[in-house]
C-alpha cells in the first residue's frame, strides 16, 4: 500500500476561532490586504472580527471587496495590484468559495507583478504571498485545499489552478456565527457541493484509505443534515451549522488528495451559462456518477460505503432529487459535442472510475442536459 498526503494548513474551527488565532495571523506579516465579497464578510461578522484582531496587533489593513460569484481572473489580477500598491505582505480571505479562491489568486498576482491575468494558468515564478482564510459557508472546503476555481473573462469558462503555495497558512472557521446568516437556498447549495466532494472523492481512481477516512465521516455528517433540509423553510440550528461546516472541511481534505470527478466538470456549464448555483449544478449529475461507480468500482468498496452509511444508491439519489429543484437547459447535439471537446483530457474525467471516455460522457450529458429538468 502506498499512502501519500500533504496539507500544511493549520485548521482551527471553534467559537471565537479568529480571536484565538490572533498570534498566528500577526505572524504572517506586517501589512494585510483583506479579500472579500461585496457583503457576506460584513453580514456574517467575520470582517469585523478580523479587522479587530489586526487593529489590536497594530497591523495596517485594507479591504478589497470586489469579488463576485465565479471570480474573474481580471478582478483577481486587479487585487494583486491593489495588494502591491498598499504594500501588503500577507492576505486574509473571508467568505465562501469564491472569495477564498480569489484570495489565493490575488496572493499569486501580488507576488508576481510581471504576470498577466491569464498567466496564472501557465505557472508563476515567485511563491504566492502568505495568506489565511476565514470561511463563511459550508461547502467548498477551499480553506484546506490547494485549488482555486477562477473564471476566464473572455470565455466565461471556469478553470482551476493549483499549487503547493495555494494552501493557506491558517484556515479559521466559526460556523455557528459565520454561517448563521446564510439563506436556506445557499445552505442547501453549499451542502450539496460538499456532498459531491465527498462522494466523488470516495470513488475516485486516486482514492486511498486515507482520503476515504475523510470522505466517509463527511458523508455521515451531511446525510442527516441534508435530510432535515428537505423540509420546506427549515434552517439548521447551531449544531447543524457546525456539522455542515465540519463536513465541508473533511470533504475538502478528501479532494486535496483525489480531486473531483465528472460531476464538477460537467456542472460548470450550468453555473457559467445558466446561473445554476454551483453545488446544485454539480449535484444534478450525482445520480449518474453513483451509477457509474456501482458498475465500475470493486463491489466490496461500493457495498462497504453504503453499509457504513446505512443507505443505498437509490436513497441518496432520491435525497438529492428532493433538494434539487431547478429547470435545466435542453442542449442540442451540437452543443453537447462542443462540451465534449472542452472536456477532452480534463483530469476530473480521468479520475472517474472505469473508462469514462467520450462515448460515456456523451451518454451522461444527453441524459441530463437533454432531459430539461431535475
Domain borders along the chain are 10-178, 184-369
What number is the average pLDDT over the span 69-94? 98
Give the pLDDT confidence score for residue 372 in this predicted structure.
53
Each residue of 191-235: pLDDT tens digit?
A: 999 999 999 999 999 999 999 999 999 999 999 999 999 999 899
Give the pLDDT confidence score for residue 297 in this predicted structure.
95
Each residue of 117-158: pLDDT tens digit?
A: 999 999 999 999 999 999 999 999 999 999 999 999 999 999
* Cα(296)–Cα(305) distance, integer angstroms: 14
Report CA torsion sign: 371, 199, 70, 318: positive
Give the pLDDT confidence score for residue 4 in this predicted structure.
85
As a whole number, the mean pLDDT across the chain is: 96
Give the pLDDT confidence score for residue 2 in this predicted structure.
77
Is the domain 10-178 a CATH 3.40.50.1970 member?
yes
Report CA torsion sign: 261, 264, 265, 266: positive
Cell representation of residue 317: 439519489
Please report where in the chains the cell 491558517 appears, as a residue. 170
Is the domain 184-369 a CATH 1.20.1090.10 member?
yes
Residues 6+ positions from 62 with CB-CB distance below 8 Å: 32, 33, 34, 82, 86, 88
- The answer on pLDDT for 181 being more than 60 is yes
Longest dimension (CA), the chain: 60
Each residue of 272-319: pLDDT tens digit?
A: 999 999 999 999 999 999 999 999 999 999 999 999 999 999 999 999
Categorise residue 95: left if φ over 0, alpha if ψ from -120 to 50, beta otherwise: left
* pLDDT band at residue 371 using 50, 70 and 90 as cut-offs: confident
CA-based end-to-end distance of the chain: 40
**Closest CA relative to residue 44, chosen from 107, 130, 138:** 138
What number is the average pLDDT over the span 180-189? 95
Give the pLDDT confidence score for residue 201 in this predicted structure.
98
Give the pLDDT confidence score for residue 274 in this predicted structure.
94
Amino acid at each position: 500500500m502506498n499512502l501519500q498526503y500533504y496539507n500544511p494548513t493549520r485548521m482551527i474551527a471553534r467559537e471565537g476561532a479568529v480571536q484565538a488565532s490572533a498570534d498566528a495571523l500577526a505572524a504572517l506579516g506586517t501589512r494585510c490586504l483583506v479579500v472579500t465579497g461585496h457583503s457576506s464578510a460584513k453580514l456574517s461578522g467575520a470582517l469585523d472580527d478580523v479587522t479587530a484582531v489586526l487593529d489590536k496587533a497594530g497591523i495596517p489593513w485594507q479591504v478589497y471587496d470586489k469579488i463576485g460569484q465565479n471570480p474573474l481572473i481580471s478582478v483577481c489580477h486587479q487585487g494583486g495590484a491593489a495588494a502591491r500598491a498598499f504594500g501588503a505582505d500577507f492576505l486574509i480571505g473571508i467568505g465562501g468559495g469564491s472569495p477564498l479562491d480569489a484570495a489565493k489568486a490575488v496572493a499569486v498576482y501580488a507576488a508576481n507583478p510581471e504576470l498577466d491575468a491569464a498567466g496564472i494558468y501557465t505557472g508563476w515564478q515567485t511563491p504566492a504571498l502568505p495568506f489565511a482564510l476565514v470561511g463563511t459557508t459550508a461547502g467548498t472546503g477551499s480553506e484546506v485545499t490547494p485549488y482555486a476555481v477562477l473564471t476566464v473573462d473572455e470565455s466565461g469558462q471556469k478553470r482551476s489552478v493549483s499549487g503547493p503555495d495555494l494552501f493557506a497558512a491558517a484556515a479559521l472557521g466559526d460556523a455557528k456565527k459565520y454561517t448563521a446568516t446564510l439563506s436556506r437556498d445557499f445552505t442547501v447549495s453549499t451542502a450539496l457541493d460538499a456532498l459531491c466532494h465527498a462522494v466523488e472523492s470516495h470513488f475516485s481512481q486516486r482514492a486511498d484509505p486515507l482520503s476515504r477516512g475523510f470522505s466517509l465521516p463527511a458523508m455521515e455528517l451531511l446525510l442527516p443534515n441534508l435530510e432535515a433540509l428537505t423540509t420546506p423553510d427549515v434552517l439548521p440550528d447551531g449544531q447543524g451549522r457546525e456539522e455542515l461546516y465540519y463536513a465541508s472541511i473533511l470533504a475538502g481534505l478528501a479532494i486535496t488528495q483525489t480531486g473531483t470527478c465528472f460531476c464538477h466538470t460537467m456542472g460548470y456549464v450550468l453555473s457559467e451559462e445558466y446561473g445554476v448555483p454551483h453545488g446544485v449544478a454539480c449535484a444534478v449529475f450525482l445520480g449518474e456518477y453513483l451509477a457509474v461507480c456501482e458498475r465500475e468500482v470493486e463491489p466490496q468498496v461500493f457495498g462497504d460505503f453504503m453499509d457504513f452509511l446505512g443507505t443505498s444508491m437509490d436513497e441518496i439519489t432520491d435525497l438529492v432529487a428532493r433538494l434539487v429543484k431547478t429547470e435545466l437547459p435542453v442542449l442540442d447535439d451540437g452543443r453537447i459535442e462542443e462540451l465534449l471537446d472542452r472536456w477532452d483530457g480534463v483530469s476530473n474525467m480521468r479520475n472517474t472510475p472505469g473508462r469514462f471516455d467520450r462515448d460515456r460522457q456523451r451518454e451522461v450529458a444527453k441524459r441530463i442536459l437533454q432531459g430539461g429538468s431535475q
